[in-house]
Homo-oligomer: A and B are copies of this chain.
Amino acid sequence: MLVTVAPGSRSAGPAKLADVAALAGVSVGTASKALNGGGRMRPETRQRVLDAVDALGFRPNQHAQSLHTGRSWTVGLMTTDGIGRFSTPVLLGAEDALGAGKISVLLCDTRGDAIREQHHLRNLMDRRVDGIIVTGRRTDPRPPLDGIEAVPIVYALSPSTDPADTSVVSDDRGGAVLAVEHLLAAGRTRIAHITGPEHHAAARDRARHAVEHLGRASLGLSTGRVHHGEWSEAWGRRAADAVLRTAPDTDGFFCGNDQIARGVADALRERGVDVPGDIAVVGYDNWDTMALASRPPLTTIDMDLTEIGRIAALRLLEAIDADPAPGVHTVPCRLIVRESS
């Protein structure tokens, strides 16, 4: 059906539902039902309303729609400790997966502050969000959001301590195994491990899995222990010197992040050691600023943070559709081979 609009036949400004109803020759109530898919009516009637919508360029008011459908088509995206290098790709992956549909993303940054978290949560609940994704910088488990029952929640990167919640995390075990396996495949047998602080799960878990995987090849660490310190280049440089004093025959370094690996590569170059000829270096994170600027560029483990965000969004959409998948879901890491190994 072709609908033509006579000049002056409707109110000024953006088209209203009343204009649509008038043009379609139905009541406002019927027009509303036709648009929201509810109510019983003849297909021709519904079509007449849809044609009027097209003819008038009518865009439904989402707030009116939300009152009608009980869904706000918004999701809260809450970061717990600022938006940084780790949470940004997670946010982008989630935003991409949600925004492809008609879901909008409400951004909240709680900065690890309990009062800010409560303020944002109240606001999200007032806005009747359909669900919430919670993400943070660390891989350490975090307590579940307090006082939220009616709304589905998915935790990304930082899992919930409650196993009944849905969490999407990186496969730290797989990442450590990829790194060690790569060094072993390159014929390295005297491998050192330098990483971040022992109270960070990311440091502890990767170290444990690296040691276990070396054990399966009947090997141990070249220095007999894990070197815990800071996530910094300066620590990488200092620790590399310490390792070579203790175990001069070390032929491979697996580092807990790319900053440490870059520090190790610098220290080795400044000692006249050839990387990777004499010693291979593998980092973690695939943080391009570090990995590509390193001399030589770093072989490293990519956690695919964008994919973690995307999967978290998909799990949340399922939970909103009353099909939740509780438990911890892991996203595999990828080995990125460059010139340092």
A99 and B106 contacting across the interface, CB-CB below 8 Å? no
A91 and B83 contacting across the interface, CB-CB below 8 Å? yes
A64/B67 contact (C-beta < 8 A), A106-B104, A123-B102 known? yes
Residues of B within 8 A of A60 (CB): 126
B259 and A293 contacting across the interface, CB-CB below 8 Å? yes
A92 and B83 contacting across the interface, CB-CB below 8 Å? yes
Q: How far is the CB of A338 from chain B (nearest CB, A)?
A: 14
A99/B120 contact (C-beta < 8 A), A63-B66, A63-B67 known? yes
A106 and B108 contacting across the interface, CB-CB below 8 Å? no
User: How does the 8 Å CB contact mask read for A40-68 relative to B, with 1 for contact and 0 for none?
Assistant: 00000000000000000001111110110
Q: How far is the CB of A118 from chain B (nearest CB, A)?
A: 13
Docked Cα-Cα span, A108 to B105, in Å, equals 8
B109 and A92 contacting across the interface, CB-CB below 8 Å? yes
Docked Cα-Cα span, A74 to B62, in Å, equals 12
Copy tally for this chain in the complex stands at 2
Docked Cα-Cα span, A139 to B245, in Å, equals 48
Docked Cα-Cα span, A82 to B83, in Å, equals 13
Check if A19 is an interface residue, CB within 8 A of chain B.
no
B77 and A72 contacting across the interface, CB-CB below 8 Å? no
A106 and B109 contacting across the interface, CB-CB below 8 Å? no
Check if A233 is an interface residue, CB within 8 A of chain B.
yes
User: How does the 8 Å CB contact mask read for A60-94 relative to B, with 1 for contact and 0 for none?
Assistant: 11111011000010100100001110001001100
Docked Cα-Cα span, A109 to B105, in Å, equals 10
Q: What are some 13 contacts across the A-B interface (CB < 8 A)?
A: A61-B126, A62-B126, A63-B127, A64-B67, A84-B88, A88-B88, A92-B109, A99-B109, A99-B119, A105-B106, A105-B107, A105-B108, A289-B290
Check if A15 is an interface residue, CB within 8 A of chain B.
no
Given contacts A74-B106, A104-B123, 16 further A-B contacts (CB under 8 A): A59-B125, A59-B126, A61-B67, A61-B128, A63-B63, A63-B72, A77-B107, A83-B92, A96-B109, A99-B108, A102-B123, A104-B124, A104-B127, A232-B293, A233-B293, A259-B293
Among B62, B122, B259, point to the contact of A128 (Cβ < 8 A). Answer: B62
